[in-house]
Amino acid sequence: MRQHLYTLAGGIAAIALFTGILYAGAAAIRDRESAATPDLVLETPDMAEIEPAPDQAETGEDVPLDPGTSSGGASVPDASATGEQPQTPTTEKTARAIEPQQFGLPDAVTSAPLERAEPRAPLSEPEKQAKAAAGPTILYRPVAIAAGVIQFDKLTLQIDGIEPEQAERTCETGGKSWPCGIVARTAFRNFLRARAVSCDMPEGGAGPSATASCSLGGQDLAAWLVDNGWATPVPGSPLEKRADAARQAKLGFHGDDPRDFSQTPMTSDDPTLGTGMEEPQPDL
């Protein structure tokens, strides 16, 4: 029993000692903060140093005591009571001319009516620039329906510089007639072989049919047809000399039937096969 009493007394003494240490630390911290931070002292100005406001009698001006009353004592209605916006006094300002030679009025201002001046010429020609930038039109997988006439989708294009030929044309050589129009179309198809053709389309677009100059791999189609005797150039064309050379060499329309029936019939690379085009033309 005595041992329990000693233990309890020791615990109470330890708690008291710990509490004393805490209070002593708190007091030391407060003393340190008060020593580091000086007391704030408010300075009160001396009323004797302040100059008094000028008296109304000395200035001679009528200063109303109440914003709602005028200097004569008459009551002035409040803007909030009447619902009107308060008006602020405005001071008249004079306009100062800035760069009068550029923005100022002319020296003599007349009441004559205004005259409409002619518009200036355009600085550039956007339409021609746009057409030049567009470049040639590429036609993919064209179909030759005659010598010098190709079809692409729903567009029928006549090669420029040569006379249009018909596939039904017939030629007579040595007393024998042969379908030179179909043979010319077959030769033209074999040259194209469904490759892409570059054409200079006419300005403003093309309708169902048009005339344009075309080339294939850098070879002009009109020149190729004339060189092989399968086309007649238009009068005055520079291709006339080539046509004379093909005529002297008896090429194309100017020669004999190129078909040799003693051997295998001439085959053709018909691009219309398998393309879904209606009414494919027969080749010989």
CA distance 76 to 62: 15
197, 143 in Cβ contact below 8 A? no
Does 110 reside within a domain? no
* Structural domain range at position 170: 133-254
* For the ranges 52-56, 128-132, 134-138, the one whose mean pLDDT is highest: 134-138
How many domains in the chain? 1
61 pLDDT above the threshold of 80? no
Q: Per the domain annotation, does 116 fall within a domain?
A: no
Q: Are 26 and 34 in contact (CB under 8 A)?
A: no
Task: Residue 214: give its domain's CATH number.
Answer: 2.40.50.90
- DSSP β-bridge partners for residue 146: 149
Residue 107 maps to a domain:
no
Interval 266-278: pLDDT, tens: 454 454 444 444 4
Average pLDDT of span 45-70:
54
Which two structure tokens, joined as six digits, stand for 262?
A: 């003693």
Task: Encode pLDDT of 17-56 as tens digits.
Answer: 889 898 888 888 887 776 665 555 566 666 666 666 555 4
DSSP at 233: B
pLDDT at 276: 43
pLDDT at 216: 93
The verdict on residue 43 lying in a domain is no
Q: Do the beta carbons of residue 225 and residue 148 sit within 8 Å?
A: yes
Task: Express each pLDDT in 147-181 by its tens digit.
Answer: 999 998 888 999 999 998 888 999 988 888 999 99
Cα dihedral across residues 200, 213, 180, 284: positive or negative: negative
Residue 253 CB burial class (10 angstroms; 0-12, 13-18, ≥19): buried
Q: Tell me the average pLDDT across 254-280.
A: 58
The confidence band for 213, taking pLDDT boundaries of 50, 70 and 90, is very high
Q: Is the pLDDT of residue 66 over 60?
A: no
Please tell me the pTM assigned to this model: 0.47
The pLDDT of 7-19, averaged and rounded, is 88
The strand pair at 209-216 and 155-159 is best described as parallel
Q: Report if residue 65 sits inside a domain.
A: no
99 exposure class (CB count in 10 Å sphere: 0-12, 13-18, 19+): exposed
Q: Is residue 249 part of a domain?
A: yes
Answer yes or no: is 29 within a domain: no
Q: Is there a domain that residue 173 lies in?
A: yes
Average pLDDT, the chain: 74
Query: What tokens does 283 get?
Result: 């080749």
Query: Hey, is 256 helix, strand or coil?
Result: coil
